Amino acid sequence: MKYTIEDLEKIAIEVREDIVKMILKAGAGHPAGSLGMVEVFVALYYAILNHDPKNPNWEDRDRLILSNGHICPARYAVMSHVGYFEHKELLKFGGFGRILQGHPDKRFLPSLETTSGPLGCGLAQGCGIAIGAKMDKKRFRTFVITSDGEHDEGNHWEAVAFAGKNNLSNLTLIVDRNNIQIDGFTENVMPLEPLASKYQAFGWSTIEIDGHNFSEIVNAANKARAIYENPTVIIAKTIPGKGVPFMEGNPNWHAKAPSSDEAKQAIIDIRTMQGKIKTYGE
């Protein structure tokens, strides 16, 4: 891995600051899920994906689909750090005609594979790309990120069945298992457990990880690449609002922008994480 764990942790802190500033400036957004998936996006763009910011449409790039598009501030912030566009664009998030829309829109940002919006659709799109790659004998991998809440959608499970039936071993699904959705806690709205067993029943390999642990994220992705019999789901257990104590684990922050004072406190809280970083192996 080109970057050390400590490098990635420092990048994650900067990304969290960006997210808070973006949503504050826009006056709208989804801070809980965005903050909770920072480590996953940082790991993907810095240590997992085969991609080239200078050639975003490179034919052999790995594909990344964000099904739960409302957490795009995390993806955008990381993309700016790796060089897909200028960092100053982040503060134009959600603006009319800007490249960074409130949900990812491939018309404005060419490096996106799909336009996100309706929940539950991302995995079906990923299945189409993955099976097409197999037919064309392409070696790139397709990654799909979904929320746990969108598992309430029936079309998601149709895609799960399709991927298992067709042994889409070039497909990796990452589930943001943060246990919240817009109406409250997932297990109150529509219980999902035993989630891993459900995927196994459809013929998937399953890996459960701490979604804030870079070593676990990268190792899980590498393990998935080595599985040639079936698709793999990585169930990443995350804390919504990670890094901001008054947001952590609170469904009320699923889709609410902070006030100016709340944003200031959030940035203070995020910066305190800097002193807690340990070097790899400690």
Query: Measured between alpha carbons, how far apart are the two ends of the chain, in Å?
Result: 18
- Tens digits of residue pLDDT in 204-219: 999 999 999 999 999 9
Q: What CA–CA distance (Å, rounded) separates 175 from 151?
A: 9
Residues 32-44, mean pLDDT to the nearest whole number: 98
**Which pLDDT value is given to residue 110?**
82
Reply yes or no on whether the pLDDT at 180 is more than 60. Answer: yes
- What pLDDT digit, counting tens, does each position of 80-106 carry? 999 999 999 999 999 999 999 999 999
Res 279 pLDDT > 50: no
DSSP symbols for the chain: --S-HHHHHHHHHHHHHHHHHHHHHHT---HHHHHHTHHHHHHIIIII----TTSTT-TTPPEEEESSGGGHHHHHHHHHHHTSS-GGGGGGTT-TT-SS-SS--TTT-TT-SS---STT-HHHHHHHHHHHHHHTT----EEEEEESGGGGSHHHHHHHHHHHHTT-TTEEEEEEE-SEETTEEHHHHS---SHHHHHHHTT-EEEEEETT-HHHHHHHHHHHHT--SS-EEEEEE--TTTT-TTTTT-GGGTT-PPPHHHHHHHHHHHHHGGGG---TT-
pLDDT value at position 274? 75
Angle of CA points 188, 238, 63, to nearest 5°: 110
Q: What residues have CB less than 8 Å from 169, skipping those under 6 apart?
A: 227, 228, 229, 230, 231, 232
Confidence of residue 187 (pLDDT cuts 50, 70, 90): very high
Q: Give the per-residue pLDDT at 282.
A: 34
Cβ atoms of 33 and 68 closer than 8 Å = yes
Inform me whether the pLDDT recorded for 7 exceeds 90. Answer: yes
* Confidence at residue 1, expressed as pLDDT on a 0 to 100 scale: 62
Average pLDDT for residues 103-119, to the nearest whole number? 91
- Assign 117 a pLDDT band (cuts: 50, 70, 90): confident
pLDDT in tens, 149-165: 999 999 999 999 999 99
What domains lie within the chain, and their CATH numbers? 5-276 (3.40.50.970)
pTM for the full predicted model: 0.95
206 forms bridges with which residues in the sheet?
233
Give the pLDDT confidence score for residue 277 in this predicted structure: 58
Q: Please confirm whether the linkage preceding 191 is cis (ω < 30° from 0).
A: no
**pLDDT tens, 18-28?**
999 999 999 99
pLDDT at 273: 81
Q: Kindly report which listed range (49-53, 182-186, 194-198) carries the lowest average pLDDT score.
A: 182-186
Give the pLDDT mean for 30-48.
98
The residue whose two tokens read 């070593």 is: 215
| Structure confidence at residue 276 (pLDDT) | 64
Q: Tell me the pLDDT of the chain averaged across its residues.
A: 95
What integer pLDDT is reported at residue 267 of this predicted model? 97
